[in-house]
Structure 1
Amino acid sequence: MNIKNNVFETIILSILFFISPKFAKFLKFKYTLRLANQGHLDAKTKLGVLYEVGEGVEQNYEKALEYYNQAASQGDTNAQTNLAVMYQDGRGVAHSDEKALEYYNQAATQGDANAKNNLGVMYQNGQGVVQNNEKALEYYNQAAAQGSPDAQANLGVMYHNGKGVVQNYEKALEYYNQAVAQGSPDAQANLGVMYHYGQGVTQSYKKAFKWYRKAAIQGHIKAHANLAWLYYHGYGVSQSHVKAVELYKMAATHGNIESQNGLGVMYVTGHGIVQNYEKAFEWFSKAASQENVAAQNNLGLMYYKGLYVTQNYEKAFEWFSKAALQGDADAQNNLGVLYRDGQGVVQNYEKAFEWFSKAAAQGFITAKNHIEEMHEKGQL
């Protein structure tokens, strides 16, 4: 009898979906609610998800928490993991890494791969626990062995960057490829990075473009930024400043700092978009306030040249200094110019030489030329 009813409901829901998807979602919610109220554990977790995302019912974090808590207390690992995420993100509850850690541990001890991966992330970032790359690696390995694409991608990152392990591009590729086989956008984007810079593979902008594009199609924001850079320079794809602007805008509005700076550059140069110094200043400011060194140097240049803002060497000195202290060679050279010429700061050839030398040590040719000129003029 129950089997017949389930078949009947499945057929009706399928028909209704084509007639009215919205009504089908409402019926799905009502059906799940009925099962949950009958005590079905899996239905309680699914009902929590429907309330959390607002599918078939008005979004309600309080109700989502109620059903997640019911299912979690009965040992449902999906509910435990979902509760952990809500505490970690502060959705419907006060943010608490400690509570998130508690629920992830409950799910992980029952073998849940997603919870193990998320525990790895918390240990790697020191969220609610003392930062510990060894513990992160341990949890990532466990989850990756269970087939978690997120954990495989995270392991790839650790080997790629040499964080917590000896840097090993071969191992990074191994784990990225495992995750890519399951469609992981993070792994696709990172594989693109390896081809972009020739890390463990033959350098290929075309292959970098291929993997960035796959990740971007899945909404990976950093991949959009990297694609924009390739379109801007015409590497691995036909050059298109218009396409670069489109991709930079998409990523910048989603908070990608590099794209905010990149979009500022496009507004300054007028490549692919109408030149607009005010917009450039706006985007440089957003990125610079988040410690992006290129944007800090670019803000300094706007103050130095008086683009949109009133020319102000003191402000230029301030922004060049911020970027120079973070190791940006361009900013170090620009700071040297200010010290040499006494613009925005008391003239000081010794300081000028110091900053030119820092930039020159990074291969910045203009700084090397400045040093030679200072020698020729007897300023050193």
Structure 2
Amino acid sequence: MKKILFTPIIYLLASCATQTTVEPGDSQIRLLTEQVASAPDTVAYEDFWVAYLESQQPVNNIAARDRYQTEMAAIESGQKSCEAVDWKAVANNNILSLMPHLTAAECYESVGQLEAANYHKNLFEFIATGMLSGRNGEYNYSAFEVASWADAEDLLTISGYEIIDSYIEFANSRNAIYRVYNVREVGGYQVSKIYFDNARFLHRLLAIRYPFAGTSDQLYTDVIQILAQTDYAARHAEGIVFHAEGQYPQAEQAYLDAIVMGSISANISLGRLCLSGKTEKFALNECAQLFVAAAELGLEEAKVYLAYMAFMGLGIESDTDLATALLSSAEQHLKKGQAEYELYSLFASEEFTSVNEVRAEQFLQASANKNYPMAYFTQAIGNLEQNNYYQFEQLIQKASNSGFSPAQFFYASYLLEEKKEISEGMALLNEAAVAGNPPALYERGRIAQFGAHGQPKDMSRSIRDYQAAAYRNHLPAQLKMGVLHSKEVITDANAEIAYAWYLLCGRAGNLECITNMGYSAEHGYGVEQSPAHAAELYRLAAAEGSAISNARLAGLYETGSGVEKDLEQAIHYYTQAAESGLANAMNKLGLMYLDTNNAISDYSRALYWFERAANQNSKYGYFNQARMYEQGLGVEVNLDRAMSLYEEASQRGHGMASLRIAEAYSQGESVDKNLDQVLHYLKLATEQSDNLQLKQMLEDCADTKDCNVSHLKQFLSGLSQE
């Protein structure tokens, strides 16, 4: 898939990079820095962020951090007093780094230079508040946004967390990466995960328009693989990629390297590989030692794996007492119900052995008994699938009331679509969207676009929500952003950016995105025109079941565009699309069989497919049947039947059908002449065709009350050329 999708990417990235070139100079960020230092409430944090990204500071991030470390070393060794440091130069050259501002503020406060202290204190509080605002770090879609990962570690340290270790989490076929920190509050017991996102910073360094680095896999090749030489989390991430691609020996080595470099999480990844029987250096009875190592170093989730192994007798002797003790120990350091839910997930999975439904249900209920939101949500979905609506509502309400945004979105959709409780549904949807839940943002955008559920239309709001969901890796939202650019709905719409959105979600396997990539390649929209490449893309999506791609590939075979003309292949792919329910393909089949110039001409098959299309409420299906009955193509001439079918097509918006009925009333063909009916159907035809010439002709008819055959022929001729 990647080879097919990447073919046009060099052209695309070159154009995107050109659009994001940043001229040297930090005047805007320095101006805003001084404004924040004196009046922080007058600056929007997002504006500050954008100015930072447009400056040279991201490029100089490492050098600026090194300077800070050098100054700190000099202070700690007694070579320099803290007030002798030019803190404005040190801190403001890497403005989003918190530690220099905090150190400067503490230094100046200690020597009584309060004005200088307040300068850095205002900057520190503004940046820290901006980083934390509107996000909670619990999921990738609510990750805290930082510049460098070092800034993330500073924020955690300042916030009172002990960092156990960290790892990289990929999203959507490596289109996005997040750094996840396993942390414990200093002096506390609970272990949790906190997500950080520095995608905009990385795109600035790569000189690629955000968020499209993933379209060429550069987040992996130009970030992860380079950092893997020195960063244990990056080397661990390489192992995860090898593991996912079935390169198990390489995965095992990468995990081992990461462990040696200091990764604790890599022990769990290697343990999972071991339990799957895919390691060369570890036998099944040696897997436990990897989880033990992770547990001893502070990762409580490792105890859940050990409990699972003890319950199942997997690699160790079955021991229910040991399993219970391990689970109890993990419970003390994780969120209430989390350990049981993770154990449920293992029993419900076939990753290591067959599913144990009894154990899975036992621990899912145990998790729910401790009010764990994901357990309620999982149970709610299970009850909905079994049509247990009362239980579903009870459970989804509990999950939603806990603030779990996926449950809030799901319940909001249920209230809006099924219960028609609009006020409560919209309130819940808004709550989930504010939390950053991508499906909720997308749905709120859809409602604003179309004015659904009685809400006012607001295209600006809609675009903001679609974009926010797209940035959070929501595939339908990325598709929508591409469509909005393609249709020039967005200000500064750009065909190349439309294609980039399609490519981003296409790499993640979205069939509509791949289909739209094919359409763009076929017609040269935002990418070099190549019907041959379009055929490859259509074939890729068609093989996965895309009806539209089947139909478009059929069209290429029918015309010989990008492929050798082959009517049998066209019939094959149109049939695939038609059997998937695509009415357009049914009509295409009918037209091919109707064409007497084709060797495959077959009136009975043509009628069959037109009837199938009409059953899908297709105006073309009705219209084409009407033509056959009117002209006696494979059937006896039946003008009454033809007029009835034209009427069905007209009611569904077919302009030619309306025009044909008008002509019939004008000439008295199988109906009595009726000028009022002529004018009625001419008006319909004009509205349906949206042809300005026809509208003028209709006005002439209305004025003169005389619509003769010659007029109608003009109508027919004009409409047929549209």
> What TM-score, normalized by structure 1, do the two folds share?
0.77
- Distance, in Å, in 2 between the alignment partners of 1:282 and 1:322 is 17
- Distance, in Å, in 1 between the alignment partners of 2:437 and 2:716 is 60
| Aligned partners of 1:212 and 1:223 also within 8 Å | yes
Question: Secondary structure at the residue paired with 1:320?
Answer: helix
**Letter paired with 1:120:** A
How far off its partner does 1:58 sit?
3.8
| Aligned partners of 2:531 and 2:561 also within 8 Å | yes
Answering whether residue 490 of structure 2 is matched by residue 238 of structure 1, we say: no
* Correspondence for 1:141: 430
* Correspondence for 1:226: 516
* Correspondence for 2:327: 36
Which one has a larger percent helix, Structure 1 or Structure 2? 1
- Distance, in Å, in 2 between the alignment partners of 1:341 and 1:305 is 14
Which deviates more, 204-213 or 281-290? 281-290
Cα distance, 1:98–1:216 mapped onto 2, change above 3 Å: farther
* Correspondence for 1:14: 266
Which deviates more, 205-214 or 340-349? 340-349
Cα distance, 1:274–1:256 mapped onto 2, change above 3 Å: same
- Distance, in Å, in 1 between the alignment partners of 2:365 and 2:598 is 55
Q: Which structure has the larger Rg?
A: 2
* Correspondence for 1:183: 473
Give the counterpart of 1:357 among 657, 661, 669.
657
**Letter paired with 2:442:** A
1:3-53, Cα deviation, whole Å (9 max, x unpaired): 9xx9x9x956625746x7611776456336344365722111112223334
* Correspondence for 1:54: 350
Answering whether residue 538 of structure 2 is matched by residue 248 of structure 1, we say: yes
- Distance, in Å, in 1 between the alignment partners of 2:578 and 2:511 is 19
- Distance, in Å, in 2 between the alignment partners of 1:205 and 1:168 is 23
Answering whether residue 442 of structure 2 is matched by residue 153 of structure 1, we say: yes
Unpaired runs of 5+ residues, structure 1, are none
Cα distance, 1:267–1:344 mapped onto 2, change above 3 Å: same
| Aligned partners of 1:195 and 1:207 also within 8 Å | yes
1:327-371, Cα deviation, whole Å (9 max, x unpaired): 756556534532442214443567467553348654399xx99x6
- Distance, in Å, in 2 between the alignment partners of 1:264 and 1:98 is 47
1:229-269, Cα deviation, whole Å (9 max, x unpaired): 21222211112233323332333344433223223333434
Give the counterpart of 1:204 among 477, 494, 498.
494
* Correspondence for 1:166: 456
Which deviates more, 342-351 or 230-239? 342-351
**Letter paired with 1:14:** A
> What TM-score, normalized by structure 2, do the two folds share?
0.44
Cα distance, 1:215–1:274 mapped onto 2, change above 3 Å: same
Unpaired runs of 5+ residues, structure 2, are 1-183, 185-190, 192-258, 277-286, 292-301, 309-322, 332-336, 650-655, 660-684, 695-709, 718-722
- Distance, in Å, in 2 between the alignment partners of 1:339 and 1:246 is 39
Answering whether residue 412 of structure 2 is matched by residue 71 of structure 1, we say: no
Cα distance, 1:54–1:296 mapped onto 2, change above 3 Å: same
Cα distance, 1:39–1:15 mapped onto 2, change above 3 Å: closer
- Distance, in Å, in 2 between the alignment partners of 1:250 and 1:46 is 36
How far off its partner does 1:172 sit?
0.7
Which deviates more, 211-220 or 301-310? 301-310
- Distance, in Å, in 2 between the alignment partners of 1:110 and 1:315 is 58
Answering whether residue 337 of structure 2 is matched by residue 337 of structure 1, we say: no
Q: Comparing both chains, which one has the higher relative contact order based on Cα–Cα distances under 8 Å and sequence gaps of 6 or more?
A: 2
Which deviates more, 356-365 or 149-158? 356-365
**Letter paired with 2:507:** I
- Distance, in Å, in 2 between the alignment partners of 1:66 and 1:306 is 67
Cα distance, 1:272–1:85 mapped onto 2, change above 3 Å: farther
Give the counterpart of 1:372 among 707, 713, 716.
713
Count of paired positions: 361
How far off its partner does 1:119 sit?
1.4
- Distance, in Å, in 1 between the alignment partners of 2:539 and 2:444 is 30
* Correspondence for 2:575: 285
- Distance, in Å, in 2 between the alignment partners of 1:141 and 1:253 is 38
Which deviates more, 100-109 or 268-277? 268-277
**Letter paired with 1:141:** N
Which one has a larger percent strand, Structure 1 or Structure 2? 2
Answering whether residue 409 of structure 2 is matched by residue 117 of structure 1, we say: yes
| Aligned partners of 1:17 and 1:24 also within 8 Å | no
Cα distance, 1:44–1:274 mapped onto 2, change above 3 Å: farther
* Correspondence for 2:400: 108
| Aligned partners of 1:77 and 1:107 also within 8 Å | yes
| Aligned partners of 1:32 and 1:46 also within 8 Å | no
* Correspondence for 1:81: 377
| Aligned partners of 1:229 and 1:244 also within 8 Å | yes
**Letter paired with 1:222:** E
| Aligned partners of 1:263 and 1:280 also within 8 Å | yes
Question: Secondary structure at the residue paired with 1:198?
Answer: coil
- Distance, in Å, in 2 between the alignment partners of 1:132 and 1:290 is 34
Identity level (%): 22
How far off its partner does 1:143 sit?
0.7
- Distance, in Å, in 2 between the alignment partners of 1:52 and 1:134 is 37
- Distance, in Å, in 1 between the alignment partners of 2:416 and 2:533 is 36
**Letter paired with 2:365:** N
Answering whether residue 319 of structure 2 is matched by residue 319 of structure 1, we say: no
| Aligned partners of 2:305 and 2:343 also within 8 Å | no
Which deviates more, 108-117 or 332-341? 332-341
**RMSD after superposition:** 4.0
How far off its partner does 1:220 sit?
2.4
Cα distance, 1:21–1:52 mapped onto 2, change above 3 Å: closer
- Distance, in Å, in 2 between the alignment partners of 1:256 and 1:39 is 45
Which deviates more, 343-352 or 72-81? 343-352
